[in-house]
Amino acid sequence: MSEAVDLLIRAPRVLLPDGEAGCAIGVSDGRIEAIESPGVKLSAARELKFDDDVVLMPGLVDSHVHICEPGNTEWEGFATATRAAAAGGITTLVDMPLDSVPTTVDVPALELKKKAAESKIHVDVAFWGGVIPGNLDQLAPLWRAGVVGFKCFLVDSGSPEFPPVDAATMEAALRVVSGLGSPLIVHAESAEVAAGLDTVPGGSYADYLASRPRGLENLAVAQLIEAARRTGGHAHVCHLSSSDALPMISSVRREGVLVTAETCPHYLTLCAEQIADGETMCKCSPPVREADNRELLWEGLRAQALDLVVSDHSPCTLEMKVGGGGDFAAAWGGISSLQYSLPLVWSGALSRGFSLSDVARWMSEGPARLAGLDAKGSIAAGRDADFCAFAPDETTIVDPATCHHRNPGTPYDGRVLTGAVRSTILRGEPADGALPRGRLLKRSRT
């Protein structure tokens, strides 16, 4: 760096792509200009220093978030979701195409979402497009309009405006989006298996778990794998909870088939044995499974059969979550954890011998790669100056009173977590929830 920069960051602990090091980071125009030795002499308009109890991580990218605006803003909105993200060290969100009205299945709906987000967002936001029966002709226009990829369901989504597709339509969509250079991300639960199961009302978590067995996921993942094999497209498994599917994914990858997969903090943290009857705050689909299954998911991360960890932040009103008096059939299926994703994952990772570099790979680099956001996901020259200042030894206590989600209900209420987000920086400026600095993003590569 031969000239003055806008911002010089000095930190003794920085997570770079090749490991942790002390660095001086020069930032100009919101981008990382260069990374130098810690004591470099440089003129800067501003200088920011961190102590050695903080690790400067790349800003997290959460590629699986339901922001329900417009249409269901009482569940969640752009202002509240992005403020929660910023509080949690997340600098980029990718919004799911359902739970808003209209759903993002054509260009007019995408434009409405963009308009709803304007001037409200505290972190950067991109959008997934949706695949539903009858809209294959809308996928190319949506791609040109800026979505980062496409999502479909193979089972009832719970949203009448976003019906599922069958396996043949899913394969046809994968062929179309592969031609565009896009991934197809899939809620992989099988409608065929679901049709043979009875919905189990009542307050028993064991009964709810039995109503969504592992086979519901396993068959759908197998269908997705074969569609990827036949089309050559990039198929991505959303929020995997069944560890049974991991050997299938590993096997097909060895054959060169492009299949990636994600899991979520709740599957890595919670377990069925500890969920009390009537505890509908823990309801999600696919469900939280047994402790041995949870440990196999961690091993899937270790073996890199799982590529990323994202929140699947699926909010609703408190009445929708608990108003049924503990009836799992009546409660909304989704867990809100956006603000706490990093300390949740780090708490589990640390106890199992993983490093913060592993966490950054799962929660920054991997989601950025999936969404094709080349300026995000790592601390490197030319990337956006997005950072999470994380104190890995500090304690976070989950308290709904300090939660920025619109509806603060959480299954983690009162849980003591390892690690705390000290601050978040978006393109060289503080993302502190005071001033909306976020931008709307498009996919930067095919």
Look up the pTM and report it. 0.97
Q: Are 405 and 74 in contact (CB under 8 A)?
A: no
Residues 339 and 412 in one domain: yes
Domain that holds residue 389: 59-374+383-420
pLDDT given at position 444: 81
Q: What is the CA radius of gyration of the chain?
A: 21
Domain assignment present for residue 9? The answer is yes
Same domain, 285 and 321: yes
Same domain for 128 and 63: yes
337 in the same domain as 387: yes
Residues 48 and 191 in one domain: no
Do residue 48 and residue 69 come from a single domain?
no
Is position 127 within any domain?
Answer: yes
What is the widest separation between alpha-carbon atoms in the chain? 69
Asked if 103 contacts 301 with a C-beta cutoff of 8 angstroms, the reply is no
In a domain, 426, yes or no: no
Residue 194 belongs to some domain of the structure = yes
Do residues 46 and 65 share a domain?
no
User: Does the residue 441 lie in any domain?
Assistant: no
Return the beta strands (E) in 82-123 as ranges: 90-95
Q: Which two tokens stand for residue 138?
A: 């809308």
Residues 233 and 286 in one domain: yes
CA distance 293 to 244: 8
3-state secondary structure of 248: helix
How far is residue 307's CA from residue 233's CA, in Å, rounded to a whole number?
17
**Is 268 in the same domain as 389?**
yes
Residue 111 shares a structural domain with residue 196: yes
Residue 93 CB partners (closer than 8 Å, separation 6+): 61, 62, 63, 65, 67, 81, 82, 85, 123, 124, 125, 126
In this structure, the answer to whether residues 193 and 295 fall within a common structural domain is: yes
Same domain for 245 and 274, yes or no, is yes
DSSP result, 305-334 = SS-EE---B----HHHHHTTSS-TTTS---
- Tokens found for residue 15: 């997570």
Domain count, the chain: 2
List, as one string, the DSSP characters of 379-400: --TTSB--EEEEEEEEEEE--G
Domain CATH for 39: 2.30.40.10
Each of the 446 residues of the chain gets a pLDDT tens digit; together they read 557 899 999 999 999 999 999 999 999 999 999 999 998 888 899 999 999 999 999 999 999 999 999 999 999 999 999 999 999 999 999 999 999 999 999 999 999 999 999 999 999 999 999 999 999 999 999 999 999 999 999 999 999 999 999 999 999 999 999 999 999 999 999 999 999 988 777 999 999 999 999 999 999 999 999 999 999 999 999 999 999 999 999 999 999 999 999 999 999 999 999 999 999 999 999 999 999 999 999 999 999 999 999 999 999 999 999 999 999 999 999 999 899 999 999 999 999 999 999 999 999 999 999 999 999 999 999 999 999 999 999 999 999 999 999 998 899 999 999 999 999 999 999 999 999 999 999 988 65
Is residue 261 left, alpha or beta, with left meaning phi > 0 and alpha meaning psi from -120 to 50?
beta
For helices 167-180 and 214-231, give the axis angle rounded to 10 degrees: 50
Q: How distant, in Å, are the alpha carbons of 221, 265, 379, 389, 441 from that of 124?
A: 31, 22, 17, 17, 7
Place of tokens 């800003």: 59
Instruction: Tell me if 429 is assigned to some domain.
Output: no
CA dist 336 and 398 (Å) reads 12
